[in-house]
Amino acid sequence: MEKLPKIGIPVIIVLVLVIIVVAKSAVTINAGDAGVLYETFGNGVVTDEPPLGEGFHIVAPWNKVIEYEVRQQELFEKMKVLSSNGLEIQIDASAWYQPVYNEVGRLHQNLGENYLDRVIKPAIRSAARSVVGRYTPEQLYSSKRDAIQDEIFDETKKILDKQYVQLNEVLVRDVTLPATIKQAIERKLKQEQESLEYEFRLVTAQKEAEKVRIEAQGKADANKILSASLTDKILQDKGIDATLKLAESPNAKIVVVGSGDDGLPLILGNN
């Protein structure tokens, strides 16, 4: 076996070094992620430039790239909080969030990869305690669920806007009250519903009675007006008109005008 030329050994060494450098320098950012560049011999975390986007990148082999998921993520929380009268309420809520893309470098520098536990969970728990403490259990159980959802979102967002995190939505999935309180509220709501139903039937009956009374009064007034307008002269004229129409009938008859009582026509014959 022939020995390699002296020039061949350095070439091989250089090629090996090049391969190592390329392998260390090549970085692939996955879909939905962004890369934070850390310059070992520079100023550390790069915060004045956008993060590395998806795809292939070449960086200096002595630098580091830390990947962050920047797509929307979900946090599910079960929280025990106190109502306005001191009763313990359990809230099941979800928060949709994601890092602010162009602020990922500052997020890494100030909070690190564990930012979920450091700021997001404490923020939503603090907001939930603050909001639920304004309402009674009855309000939370019935009419105020949408309101507390919106208020928790608003208060959490105020905190996270300063922490390089974008809050998209807060959803209150369930509000769990102590069993005895829940049963008492359900009984009260049932009684209120029955009372409203009774009042509705009563009002309906009153309206129907009023309608009948108005119709009867209308008929009575109409008859009164009609009776007042029917004088003897009018009755005689209407009787004459009716008799003349009968006289025009093809049936044979004898009409004597003015021979009946009160001077009305009298029909004597009919075949």
Same domain for 137 and 92: yes
CB count in 10 Å sphere of residue 170: 25
Cα separation values, 73 from 41, 67, 102, 166, 200, Å: 34, 15, 17, 11, 49
pLDDT at 93 over 70: yes
For residue 20 the two structure tokens come to 């190592």
Residue 194 lies in a domain: no
**pTM assigned to the model:** 0.61
Domain of residue 12 covers: 8-69
Provide the CATH number for the domain around residue 127. Answer: 3.30.479.30
Same domain for 148 and 78: yes
pLDDT at 269 over 60: no
Same domain for 58 and 40: yes
Element (H, E) at 241: helix 232-247
59 in Cβ contact with 25 (< 8 Å): yes
Per-residue pLDDT, 229 = 63
Q: Facing residues of 79 across strands?
A: 91
pLDDT at 65 over 80: yes
Same domain for 47 and 87: no
For residue 5 the two structure tokens come to 């030329």
Q: What is the pLDDT of residues 152-202, one digit of tens each?
A: 999 999 999 889 999 999 999 888 887 666 566 556 666 666 677 767 777
User: Which of 139, 159, 177 is the C-terminal boundary of a domain?
Assistant: 177
The DSSP letter of residue 119 is I
Cα separation values, 169 from 76, 127, 172, Å: 12, 14, 10
Per-residue pLDDT, 1 = 45
Q: What is the pLDDT of residues 223-266, one digit of tens each?
A: 677 666 656 666 566 666 666 666 666 665 555 555 455 555 55
Q: Facing residues of 98 across strands?
A: 166
Same domain for 82 and 154: yes
Overall domain count for the chain: 3
User: Which of 46, 69, 92 is the C-terminal boundary of a domain?
Assistant: 69
For residue 191 the two structure tokens come to 């009684």
Residue 56 lies in a domain: yes
> What is the percentage of the chain residues whose pLDDT exceeds 70?
66
Same domain for 99 and 116: yes
